[in-house]
Structure 1
Amino acid sequence: MPEDQKIIYLTFDDGPTPEITHWTLDLLESYHAKATFFCIGNNIEKHPQTVQDILKSGHAVGNHSFDHPKGWQTNSAIYVEQVLKTQELINRQIENLNLQIPNSISKSPKLFRPPYGQIRPKQGKCLIDLGYKIIMWDVLPFDWKDSLSEEGCAQNVISNAGPGSIIVFHDSVKAAQLMKYALTKTLEHFSKKGYVFKSII
């Protein structure tokens, strides 16, 4: 990601979780911010309309596997199959949206974020050969930690993010309280400093 421009890449893992995702979409819209949602296939099957809502709002949808396996403990063929299955689900929602609104989305970027950040070299090579970009991060708010305060979560971002940073928030009920506080503070702080928020493409 460019490190010489005031751009930050907000990302949200583990969704879609309708009540959390829609709250996030509303907040992002109020700041004219774009983001990337790394969705789990199992949740896409449960909440396809929410995926379409993400896409209609102009955000990117990335692949976060089907059921969040640990790459270091998972057979490589099974791991890759999880990614392919989830990509089919993402593509289906794009196709469905294009039927409703012709040519609204021209393509799906093949973005993959490994659950837990765990991926074996063989798994990574196979996915890259299939055209995927593997997207990690450089700022982790720890928004799922029960022991962390709201302000501590926000400071994890504000103290560590800068030009080109990729921040990982979580689109889940468990992380909701800390995520909502930290995301709000992040958008406020960096918007005042002249940053823009873009999706990964």
Structure 2
Amino acid sequence: MSELTPELLLHGYSIGIFPMAEHRDDPEIFWVDPRRRGVMPLQGFHLSRSLAKAMRRSPFRASVDEDFAGVVEGCADRADTWINAEIFSLYNALHQRHHAHSVEIWEDQTLVGGVYGVTLGGAFFGESMFSRRTNASKMALAVLVDRLRRAGFVLFDAQFLTDHLASLGAQEITRAEYHTRLDHAKEITARFAAPPEATLYEVVQRMTQTS
């Protein structure tokens, strides 16, 4: 791969591919183009009764773009990670260009969960999430989906379908279907930062009223 820049990284997303490394100490980065793609239907997020109850009663606080680097670090803080130093630097550069964003979950002043990804038009490309408390990553995803809905996004790319994401409503589609949806999403104008921040309670109230 030629030298990867924030601009080249964004171009990759625009044509349906994304970068990975084998592990944190591997300097080599390669492009990934899955034959089948995981997507989270924005109107099909499954907010279980137990998660809704936990969010209503939770002392946690949700925020947006308050600690992007901290979220990426949290996602990389595991035994097996594809986030190497170059990828960390590139996503922070995209964040500075307002093309990468994060949702944080806080317990007092401690970051206990979060999710981050890249935005382009009306598409959000989810990259990774982490949790240091029960349900923290699920809460972050719920806040993210609520924000994407309110901001006018039409595609939430989850890359690969996992059991965890499937339990929250994610689905798997073909590469061809993904590119059709991506082409449409790129024509949409959506602003991730536009909606006001919401509490976990407010997110649950909106989701339970529209589900």
- After TM superposition, the score normalised by the length of structure 1 is 0.26
Q: 1 or 2 for the larger relative contact order (CA 8 Å, sep ≥6)?
A: 1
Q: Could you say which structure has the higher helix fraction?
A: 1
Tell me which protein shows more strand as a share of its residues: 2
